[in-house]
Each structure stands twice: as C-alpha cells, then as structure tokens.
Structure 1
Amino acid sequence: MSHVIVIGGGVSGLATAALLAADGHDVELHEARDQLGGRAGTWEKDGFRFDTGPSWYLMPEVFEHFFALLGTSADEQLDLVALDPAYRVYSEGHPPFDVVSGRAQAVALFESIEAGAGAKIDRYLDAAEHAYHLSVDHFLYDGYQNLSGLRHPAVLRSAPQLVPSLSRSLARHVDARFTDTRLRQVLGYPAVFLGGTPYTVPALYQLMSHLDLNDGVLYPQGGMYTFVAALERLARERGVRVHLGSDVRRMLVSDGRAHGVELADGTTHDADLVVAATDLHHLEADLLGGASTGRRRERTPSSGALLLLLGVRGEVPQLAHHTLLFTADWQQNFDAITRAGGHIPDPASLYVCAASQTDPSVAPTGDTNLFVLVPAPANPESGAGGIDRGGDEEIERTADRVIAQIAQWCDIPDLAERIVVRRTITPQDFATDLRTWQGNALGMAHTLRQSALLRDRNTVPGIDGLYRVGADVTPGIGLPMCLISAEIVTKLVRGETAPGRIGALRSAL
C-alpha cells in the first residue's frame, strides 16, 4: 500500500482518489476551494440551484464501468432520465426544430430538412458509431506508454478510414456531405464541447454524433452535481481523507522523484505518490516552479466562456432542457472568438440549459432556472463576473445582449423582466477561481496535435511518482474522459501499460 496525495478535488481528482483507495492505497485529497467538483460546480440562491459546468450526460457505459469498479452502479448512485427531445435548435432565420435521439428519428429529421440527407445521415452515423467503438476499445483507455494498442488488428484494418479522419477538419468532413446549414451545425456543434471549433477539431470526432443522435442524452435528477456528490461519497466510504480549503503551493521533488507537497500554511506532507488533478500550466508554473512536464510547451487551450445563471419567474416552454442557438455566419462566429484579440460576437451562437424543464427540484415551483454558455475568447483580462449585475460593466452589458438575443430568437419577449436571480461567470473567474490557463473553460482543446497519443500523457518525464489526471491530459475533455483518465492513472500506479479497461480492482478480488 502506498500513501498517495491527490491535488485537486474536481471530477478527475475525486475519481482517481476513489479508485486508488479501492485498490488498497492510503489516499488523501487536498482541494484549495471550499467546494469539490472543480469545473463541475454548483451554486444556489433563492431556491434556484444551478450546475456551473458540465450539463450533458453522455457515454453512459463509461459511467457504468467506473461505478462497477467501485462495486456499485449508476442506478444505485443516480436517478437518470432520458431526455425527449435530446435538444432543441434555433438556427438564425429558420423555425426551431427538435432533435430526438434514435437512428430512425435522425434519418426522418435530416430528410425533412434536405432531400436525400436521410440516407446520408444513416451512412454518417454508421461511420460515427464505428469510430466511437474503435476509440473506446483501442484509444481512450490507453495511456500511450507504448504503441502496442495502435498495432491491434482492428486499428490496422481501420487505418484507411482513420488516417483521413485525422487529416481534415470536422467542418470539412460534414460540409462535403450535407448542404443545409442547419444540418451542418447539428453535426458540427459538438466540437465546442471538445474545446475547439468544427474548423479545428479533426473529423474523427464525428463519433460525437453517435452519442446524441444514436445513443441518447440522459440527465441525473437533482442536477449534474449529484454525480460529484456520488464521487465524494464513494471516495470517503473507501477511506479517502478529503481536505477542503487546503491549498497546495509547491510540489516536493528530490532526485527526480515526487515525495510530497507543501501547503499554503507552510506545512509539508510526505507521500509515496502524488497525483496532480490540476491545470497543466498551474502545475508547471506554480507547483513545479517553472519546470516543463511535457515534450513541448506550445499548447492550445479551449475557448473561454461567459456563463449566465438566471432564475426566471414562471415557465419558459419555448426552451427545451437543452437548447442551441446557431448564428447564420457560423464560421465568422468562431473566428471572432478564436482569433487574437477576439470578442464575443453579437449575435452569438450559444447554449441554454433549462434543467427545470425536467427536474422540479432545481427551481421554485412553477419557475425556471437557465444556465447559458456563450463561447468566448480565453482571456483572463476579460473582466470579472458577479451576482445581480455585480460584474464588470462590459461583462454585464454583454450579458444583457445575450438575454435579449434569447428573448428575441425564442419568442420570450418578457424574459429580462422576469429574471430574479442573475450571476455572470467569465474567463477571468475561471483563471482566478480554478486556475485555468488563460481562463479556458474546458481544458486543452482537442486539436490534432492534442488528441490521442499526441496529447499530454498521464506521467511526467523526469519525475517519478508524479501522475497527471484530468481534462488537460489523456484522454481529454468531458466527464467521461475524466473518469477514464482516473482509470489510466490507476493502471499506471499498478505498473500496467497495456491499453484497455481494468477488469477489477484489487480490493474487489
């Protein structure tokens, strides 16, 4: 049994702590803030409760496998419901339409919008499903300590399709098959949740369309933070000692090996192994005093985000649980966000979650809670958000424009007048509160150079006993990826480098 210190109580840190404790290790977790969850946080005011981060429950088999490793199940830990529709789309200049999960429903929708697109989406989803299963079986659970996984016969057989999908963008791949802008947007928007844009994310990520169009979208009643609460509960039950308000300021490294941490209060804590569930640049610049932990320092962060948490009196039937607003000038919208000195365009492509449409516990009876995500430049000097118009003036003016856009596009003319709770969160807040590099909202973007074996690894060259976990490293962004990242670290601690899932934890044998 090793004494392990985990730095950071986000999803990846909690998941790693739970798995390592279940595998027989003595684990302590230090979280600088007074709340666990990291990006997957929660905030409550006047009876309105908001998730402040991830809001899509996708890849349920990843969650199920993770829970099984801890001797439980998603059914035991969460109250999951399927969303119908999966989401609603308002595309500028067109009437709204609902996307319902299921192959037949997707084929019918695409054919109704563009003649001949039904057969095309059927073939597209066949390829997306194949890419998804290939990734789960051979790429995602691989820490790439060696390249044995890439020599698997299934991977080699798929090389003629795989190589081109890595060399062109998702937008180029989609645009070659579909003409109608609305269909291109439905297939391209998942790139945003990967920290990039349809023009920067490789076409391999068409696999994301398998998740919402084929597989379905779930939601845990009580909010996504119930998943964080489940992780905390499972970790503590397995003996993890959780320290809140415990800020790690320095990593202790001697003779090329990590052996503990120093806290902000000046105390030092020894360990056999250290797991950093932190932003990579914070790890390098602050905890390791400027040392590089990768083969290169040139990384591309995801975009930032302007978040609006809105408590609204009365119901808002114009919005589904998930609603997407897409501008007509799709590429220009992304260019405005990603170029140097960029800005949030007006109007903006954005996402709205009205969880109260499904879950009455997150708002007072008859009222609506809205979580609005507007992709923004990753810029820590963007200005701070605040509660009840307490943010910087330009931030609150931008929020007013976003609220006005939702009201106009979705035919909710009195939306602004009905808002009784309001909070804004900005890239500056991400940088200050979560120490994310440049205030990015999601982690390191899934560009070609930051995907699969080219992404930063879970081990640190030159420092034994130090592991990295989370959205910045293998396999990537999103709650399922953070769970897989935790499993990869657990395998590495065991000394296992082969790709694939863990069959069982030692404590369960």
Structure 2
Amino acid sequence: MTRRVAVIGGGVSGLATAALLAHRGDEVTVFEARDEVGGRAGSWQHEGFRFDTGPSWFLMPEVFEHYFRLLGTSMAEQLDLVRLDPAYRMYTEGDPDGLDVHSGTDAAASLFESVEPGSGRRLRAYLDSARDAYDLAVSRFLYDPYENLRGLTHRDLLRRLPRLAGLLTRPLHTHIRRRFRDPRLQRLLGYPAVFLGGSPFEVPSLYHLMSHLDLGDRVLYPQGGFTVLIERIAALARERGVVIRTGAEVVAIETEGAVATGVRVRDAAGTASVHEADVVVGAGDLHHTETALLPEALQTYPERWWRRRTPSPGALLILLGVRGELPELAHHTLLFADDWRGNFGAIFSDSPRVPDPASVYVCRPSATDSTVAPEGHENLFVLVPMPADARIGRGGVDGAGDPAVERAADRMIAQIAAWSGAHDLAERIVVRRTIAPGDFAADLRTWRGNALGLSHTLAQSALFRPKNASRKVSGLYYAGADVLPGIGLPMCLISAELVAKRLSGDVSAARLPEPAPAPATERG
C-alpha cells in the first residue's frame, strides 16, 4: 500500500529518507523552510567563489556506496571522488614545522616512528584495534534501531565484552596517553572527537575507531564539493517522484489523538495550510521538532529531558576568498593549541568561553578542486569549535557580523597566518563571511546554536541515543544527527535507512539488503 509521507527538513537526512521511501513505493513530499536544500550541508556563492558551509571530510565511503546501491545506483555513478594525499597537515602552537599525515597504516606508522621512536609498532596495534572496533560498529551498532536488546547479545559482542567494557568506560584521551607520549601524536589521535561533537577527555575510547578512517583507510573529496552530494541525493529523490517544497516552513505536526495525520505548513507569504500524511518524518533539529511542533503531552523528548543533555560544540565558520596561492595549507589543515585540555575545557565547562588561542580546522578545497574559486585565488573554510551558545552572536559578510564574532574571526585569521607561515593572509582576503552559533540557532533551529547535533557522550550513544520513532505519536519518525546512529553525513544516511527499516517492520541490527546488480546488457 502506498503511504503518504511528509518529511520535515531538506537536509541530507531528509532528502536521503525521502529518496529511500519513494524508491520503495511511497508518495513523499519534503518541506524545507529555507529557500534551498542542504541544511547543515549548505553552500554559499559570492564573486566567483563557492563555499561549502558544512561537512568537508568524506569518510566511510562504504556507507555511501551501500546507500546508493539501495537506490539502484552506485557511488561511482553519482560522485567523482579523489583521494587526498596528504590526508591532512597538522600545525601545533609554537612549532613552525607542520606534519603531513598520509593515510595507510604503513605511512602513518612511519610518521609516528619519526616523531616518537617505538611508536610505529604501537600505532599498528592501535589501528588494528580501531579497525576491529569499526567493523563491529558497522555490523552490530550503527544499523540497529535498538527496539530490543537482541542485537547486543550477538556472539561477536559477547566474546569482546571484557574489552568493550574498558573501551566504553575509559575516555579517549586516557586510552591514547597510555600508548603515546608525544603531545602532537596524542592530538592527532584525539581530534576526531570533534567529529563526534565532543571532547577527547569525555567521549568513550571506543571511538578510537575513528582513526581507522583517516589513518588506516583514506580521506576522499567529491569534486565540486559537498554541494554535489546534496544535489545528487535530491535528484535521485525527484527521479523517484519526491516533491521538494522550499520556502515551506512546518509550524506544527498534525495529530488525531496520538496518531500523526500530517503537517501544518506556512509558505513564504505567510499562508498556512495542512498537508495530510500517513507518516511524518522529522529530519530537522530534534529539539525544535519535539518542543515547537508538538504539544507537550505528545513530546517524547520534552524540555526537561534536554536540560540533562549535552550538545555538540557551536562553531565559528569563516569563509575566505584569498588572492594568490596558499601552499602553507593542505586541503585539510589542523592547528592545535598547546593547552589541549584547556581548549576543550573552555568549550564544555560550566563557564564556557571562546578559546584563545583556539584549535582550528582549515579546509582549502581549491587545492584539489578548480571549480570553487576564480583562477589565481584560494578558497578557505575555517571552523573554530566554540561553546554552543546562540548568545555569542551572528556572523555576516565583509565584517558585518556582531562585533564579538568579527573580533574572534580576526584573531583566528591572524593565528592561522602566524602558525602556518602564511603571514600576509589577512592582506590578501577579497571575500569574507562569518557564520556563528546565533546563525545556527536562527537559520537551522539547532538547539542552543550547536553545529553538529547531540554530542556522542556515553549517555548519548548507541542504545542511549534518541530513537528514530516517537514513543508518544504513532506514525512519527525521526532522522538526522540528533538521533540514531549520530553525527556526520554517513550517520545521517544510516538514520534514513533506520526509518525505512522501521516502516517495514525490520528491527534487526543488519543493513537493508542491496538489490542485485543489473546484468551488463541492461546497464549498457
């Protein structure tokens, strides 16, 4: 039976859910409040530059491949991926010599050995463990909707239980520090905690599995930027009959008793109408969906629940168009503050503040992609983790953001220039835009202005993370970074699959089966 499905939010999770459900025969409409789709994975074009305003690391390619195969296509057909070499460059405060990090166990072990004799062997063991944890996560954790605990009694988990207990209760930094002494190596292994919306001093050491992705495996980049990924998923959705309405803000989830019956939508002119549906999928910020679109009696996660939760950090994003070349920066460059613990303490403490100096991430896609900047120019995307606090303010174009935001951006630009050796960086900037926590809160409705979603603390991971279906409203489901399995583009694709599994009654920990490839004659 064809179901009418209303999807709230045109970010990657909303589009991915819509495409999957339409491919399986449902009639799907996506409602996006903004004028363009993409959500956190947005873009901005100005004076010949095109900036991704969200995700910039392409990891876990097998998740993307599986998702595309579910739609009867492949990653190779949809994306032009190139491998980055080096995977990234690292600068440390007070050390003018950067370290180029190349993916692959042999290359990574050689780098570690050159920095700390004896550490190459230990890194090989570390990456073996990371690969094992990653494989376990993909096979037993990430695709499990946790409707029951049957998946947690699988023999693969039970035989690893003593080791898993330690990995779940020991912070990542402690796990790293026991194996490596050099602070640069500790930071290199600990920084992926930021991808998880957390601190290496807080997230469980099970997440050392992240090092398998950038060191043991490879770092890729989709030519054209991450906007191309959004465009391809949106196109696949439309090809399957999905209607995508932009400038259409959902202001309420309609219910009869405790059953979802549709959504109330307000268009750009302010006119409200009701779109009837058999299924509603909330694919935006979970806090907003629960507390603003449902009456309190029907909220699975009411305001009092959120008071005990931890958001990911907020972020200051600085988009820079720069005249001339910047060989001092790789496609991905990490700059680590010397006070590593204090840096995260400033973000996550009870009295949060913007770190100064800060640990900073810089993406220079123009190192790989000629389409993102005019000839003779560079494109820089700068991300500075900071507290999730919308009161920090909003950004703007050419210095027009709130004064505190622009002063922080000035400091970060000066820091990048000094630490990387690109001393005239500020003088060569021809395009500048800042995006701050206030923008995340106002434009994307993210809780407290966070940049990524709910942090992956132990209490907010796996079976403890919000589920993909409402406990109070039948027919209401959730996808996105706040719910299972978590933060990041691959996780958002899996969350879409979890919705599809639930709607088909599949509560197993297994991935959906991929269709058999078409015969060569059919493929042409």
TM-score tier by shorter-chain length is over 0.9
Counterpart pick for 1:328 among 335, 338, 350? 338
Output the CA distance in 1 between the equivalents of 2:290 and 2:281. Answer: 14
5+ long unaligned stretches in structure 2: 519-524
Output the CA distance in 1 between the equivalents of 2:86 and 2:420. Answer: 16
Are the equivalent residues in 2 in contact too, given 1:137–1:500 (CA < 8 A)? yes
Partner of 1:346: 356
Partner of 2:461: 451
Output the CA distance in 2 between the equivalents of 1:505 and 1:386. Answer: 46
Q: Percent identity?
A: 59
Output the CA distance in 1 between the equivalents of 2:407 and 2:7. Answer: 40
Counterpart pick for 2:143 among 141, 144, 168? 141
Counterpart pick for 2:395 among 372, 375, 385? 385
Output the CA distance in 2 between the equivalents of 1:105 and 1:319. Answer: 20
Output the CA distance in 2 between the equivalents of 1:263 and 1:505. Answer: 36
Which AA in structure 2 matches 1:245?
A: G
Residue 92 in structure 1 maps to residue 93 in structure 2: yes
Counterpart pick for 2:369 among 359, 371, 377? 359
Q: CA deviation at 1:194?
A: 0.6
What does 1:210-249 correspond to in 2, within 5 Å? 210-249=212-251
Output the CA distance in 1 between the equivalents of 2:369 and 2:376. Answer: 11
Partner of 2:290: 284
Are the equivalent residues in 2 in contact too, given 1:87–1:100 (CA < 8 A)? yes
Counterpart pick for 1:184 among 183, 186, 190? 186
Partner of 1:154: 156
Partner of 2:8: 7
Are the equivalent residues in 1 in contact too, given 2:72–2:515 (CA < 8 A)? no
Output the CA distance in 1 between the equivalents of 2:256 and 2:466. Answer: 23
Partner of 1:376: 386
Partner of 2:207: 205
Give the RMSD, CA atoms, in angstroms.
1.2
Are the equivalent residues in 2 in contact too, given 1:41–1:53 (CA < 8 A)? yes
Are the equivalent residues in 2 in contact too, given 1:191–1:201 (CA < 8 A)? yes
Q: CA deviation at 1:383?
A: 1.1
Residue 496 in structure 1 maps to residue 502 in structure 2: no
Output the CA distance in 2 between the equivalents of 1:410 and 1:287. Answer: 46
TM-score when scaled to structure 2? Answer: 0.95
Output the CA distance in 2 between the equivalents of 1:437 and 1:201. Answer: 20
Structure 1 segments, 4+ long, off by >2 Å, are: 289-292, 294-298
Output the CA distance in 2 between the equivalents of 1:497 and 1:334. Answer: 37
Q: CA deviation at 1:163?
A: 1.2
Output the CA distance in 1 between the equivalents of 2:265 and 2:301. Answer: 24
What does 1:51-200 correspond to in 2, within 5 Å? 51-94=52-95, 95-200=97-202
Output the CA distance in 1 between the equivalents of 2:351 and 2:181. Answer: 32
Which AA in structure 2 matches 1:190?
A: P
Q: CA deviation at 1:115?
A: 1.4
Residue 43 in structure 1 maps to residue 65 in structure 2: no
Output the CA distance in 2 between the equivalents of 1:497 and 1:127. Answer: 28
Are the equivalent residues in 2 in contact too, given 1:313–1:368 (CA < 8 A)? yes
Output the CA distance in 2 between the equivalents of 1:500 and 1:91. Answer: 42
Residue 476 in structure 1 maps to residue 486 in structure 2: yes
Are the equivalent residues in 2 in contact too, given 1:196–1:445 (CA < 8 A)? yes
Q: Deviations over 1:23-77 (max 9, x none)?
A: 0101011000011010000001011110000000000000000000001111111
Farther-moved stretch of structure 1 (390-399 vs 295-304): 295-304
Which AA in structure 2 matches 1:20?
A: L
Q: CA deviation at 1:116?
A: 1.0
1:229 alignment partner, SS class? helix
1:398 alignment partner, SS class? helix
Q: CA deviation at 1:385?
A: 0.3
Output the CA distance in 1 between the equivalents of 2:429 and 2:274. Answer: 47
Which AA in structure 2 matches 1:417?
A: E
2:390 alignment partner, SS class? coil
Output the CA distance in 2 between the equivalents of 1:89 and 1:253. Answer: 52
Tell me how many residue pairs correspond in the alignment.
507
